[in-house]
Structure 1
């Protein structure tokens, strides 16, 4: 069935965190918003599922409280290295745990309540002609809008179609995620390193534990399957072995994704404003990707509203302001994330650093702050 209204103020391509937060924000100001998502809701995703508290003021502005849906408060951090040395610290800002399955679904309900039109379809082409976007979908919808936001995740069909630079490079990482039932503190997020990767552990709603690890694809391919890789590599970390062996998986099979890249990305492509993972990804080791996605929506929506209301006079000014504000908020933490991840890929250096942190524990919260930001004003 064809969409009756085909022209919108804003079309958002992708219904993850960035797409949904943009949709809710813009619809609060009575903008006509269409969100196009190729998958059905809800859907589990490979994700650390820990979010820094820096986003709470913005979520409150969107009239969305994650604790209404079972989010778990987290204020402690634990780190282990490949030789099983352990260090703990208080999280400077704290955070919360909630599954993407739950969070995306509840944000969707909020968007629908706000009047956002949701379309399940695959966008196949976006053209910018005479200052208007023309959007085509697999189901043969032909739509137009003043603004298009690209919130289509890490790697997508549109990235290939637009020949974005990063898409030409083979992604070197594999991500694996499962939910389990077992014993783990509610207020703790842990990061346990193993040779060639690391695993995040934290509670989400319903007393479930999220286990999500990332590893070099080349390292994984040396083993015949996930079970073999975990037994021979992941479980060399005693903390991880204990958690995995003393818990019960809630998934029939682990979720996996091999298309993970941390290459730099352009923030505006063919006048499309990129948000969330489509704009840039921080290493999961830093545990702040979900927060970045939410905050990128805040930056984009505020500027888009100013443009649509004539406070930003030209499209070029809109694009330049978005690039400037995105870089101001995220560029340093991305660099810090790359540097920290590089250090932890080298076992000897990582173990040496941990020895220093054990002697000078006040340094760990300082390092954590480098990959986190301060709440943006609404």
Structure 2
């Protein structure tokens, strides 16, 4: 006899756990299959943008309970050019991802979600039933399955959806123990350094309550492949300049070039990183993961209660995010990372015009949408600042 669930979710990250909370609270029988021991490490700087807050509130998660730092602004550097922006009352937090993610998973467990420590080997469709084959030879059955299992999604592979290699990005990160004096030197700001790579940046996110600074970098896979200097050495050089010693460095691929073309097949849908829902500008994916989890749950509820086609409903809900990433996010990526001369001009404009700096800060922290950012950073609107930057 096979164990049966209304919905099976593969992956216990923010997307999968968020979806499970909403579904379990509506009375559905839900299981999450997670291959890692929980809590597990996630390759991430651990910055929670203001865009994530409404989703967390909807799930009943108090961000203050897991926050290690509340940021008041950010500093950006390109070579000798350094500029920054304080964003006032906007809420941006620093967390340890294993603690943050596990807080959401625990909320799911409290709601009655079953967590299975297994790995999915394959899927098989039989009429309107999905059979899920596990690594312990057990077989589960369900009518709806969510693939929230990351960039190397086995679910995406099983349903024949691809993510092109040229869309991949890569990141390295580590939590570095730091004294209060070093942490305080960041002035409660995120730090982004665009000096080292044609695309991407080095980050330093202080976390005062944890007495650490998360240091890392994100860039496209092509840059990593063709780098003449080992990437780890660049991070080590940055850390040494700050009198910091880097412990073990973690690396991972991330979606960096847009979403998948199709968000699922029939009653199997893809969430979060598995769907390529990551910003091509900043590499941030937590807010999109949470939103995709909520949308997936809402679509599943409509499927069960009103027989609404699951994939059609979910794709429609995701359409604005898809356009934000694939159209406007990629446009901003080109604006920000279009060669060193263009980037230097952008930084000179930011250093001489606080309004442009503020707008860039709002884009990076997702206070405004990428569509709004593209429209507000048009060449015509930037022309006076461009002229000033070029002649001084």
Q: TM-score range by the shorter chain?
A: 0.7 to 0.9
User: 1:320 and 2:316 equivalent?
Assistant: no
Corresponding residue of 1:352:
345
Note if 1:118 corresponds to 2:115.
yes
Deviation of the 1:105 alpha carbon: 1.9
Q: Deviations over 1:22-62 (max 9, x none)?
A: 11221122211100011111222211211112322332232
Q: Deviations over 1:279-337 (max 9, x none)?
A: 22334642531111111112221222232222xx332xx32221122121452245333
Distance 1:319 1:158, change over 3 A: closer
Query: Match of 1:301?
Result: 297
- Deviations 1:64-96 (Å, cap 9, x if unpaired)? 212212442223122112x23111113484311
Indicate the residue corresponding to 2:105 in structure 1. 108
CA change 1:349–1:47 in 2 (3 A) is: same
CA contact under 8 A between 2:296 and 2:314: conserved in structure 1?
A: yes
Question: Is residue 228 from structure 1 mapped to residue 233 from structure 2 by the alignment?
Answer: yes
Q: How far is the alpha carbon of 1:228 from its aligned partner?
A: 3.4
Structure 2 residue corresponding to 1:180, chosen from 176, 182, 185: 176
Structure 1 residues 344 and 58, CA gap change in structure 2 (3 angstroms): closer
Higher relative contact order (CA 8 A, sep 6+): 1
Are 2:100 and 1:99 aligned?
Answer: no
Map 1:170-319; keep pairs closer than 5 Å: 173-182=169-178, 183-184=182-183, 185=186, 187-193=188-194, 194-196=196-198, 197-204=200-207, 206-220=210-224, 222=227, 225-230=230-235, 235=237, 241=238, 245-249=242-246, 251=247, 253-258=248-253, 260-265=255-260, 266-283=262-279, 285-286=281-282, 288-310=284-306, 313-315=307-309, 318-319=310-311
User: Which residues of structure 2 form unaligned runs of 5+?
Assistant: 370-392
1:52–1:70 Cα change, 3 Å:
closer
Contact 2:254 2:273 in 1 (8 A): no
- Secondary structure of the structure 1 residue equivalent to 2:137: coil
* TM-score, length basis structure 2: 0.81
- Segment drifting more, 137-146 vs 219-228: 219-228
Inter-CA distance 368–145: structure 2 relative to 1 (3 Å threshold) = farther
Distance of aligned partners of 1:220 and 1:284 in 2 relative to their CA distance in 1, 3 Å threshold: same
Residue number in structure 1 paired with 2:56 = 59
Instruction: Give the match for residue 340 of structure 1.
Output: 332
Q: What is the Cα deviation at residue 163 of structure 1?
A: 3.5
SS at match of 1:47: coil
What SS does structure 2 have at the residue aligned with 1:102? helix
When the two chains are superposed, the root-mean-square deviation of aligned CA atoms in Å is: 2.7
Cα distance in 2 for partners of 1:144, 1:186 equals 52
Q: Confirm whether residue 72 of structure 1 aligns to residue 72 of structure 2.
A: no
Q: Quick one: which of 6, 9, 12 aligns to 2:3?
A: 6
Q: Which residue of 2 aligns with 1:365?
A: 358
Find the residue that maps to 2:91 and give its secondary structure: strand
Task: For 1:269 and 1:14, locate their aligned partners in 2 and report how far apart those are by CA, in whole Å.
Answer: 18
Instruction: Decide which of 126, 130, 145 is 1:129's aligned counterpart.
Output: 126
Structure 1, residues 181-233: CA drift from partner, whole Å, max 9, x if none?
Answer: 222347322211112331222134513211121234455455575543446xx
After TM superposition, the structure 1 = structure 2 runs for residues 127-166 of structure 1, keeping only pairs within 5 Å, are 127-166=124-163
Length, aligned pairs only: 356
What 5-or-longer segments of structure 1 have no aligned partner? 236-240
Q: Distance in 1 between matches of 2:85 and 2:326?
A: 22
2:80 aligns with 84
**8 Å CA contact 1:50, 1:287 repeated in 2:** no
CA deviation after TM superposition for structure 1 residue 270, in Å: 4.6
Which residue in 2 is equivalent to 1:238? none
SS at match of 2:55: helix
Give the TM-score, by structure 1 length. Answer: 0.84
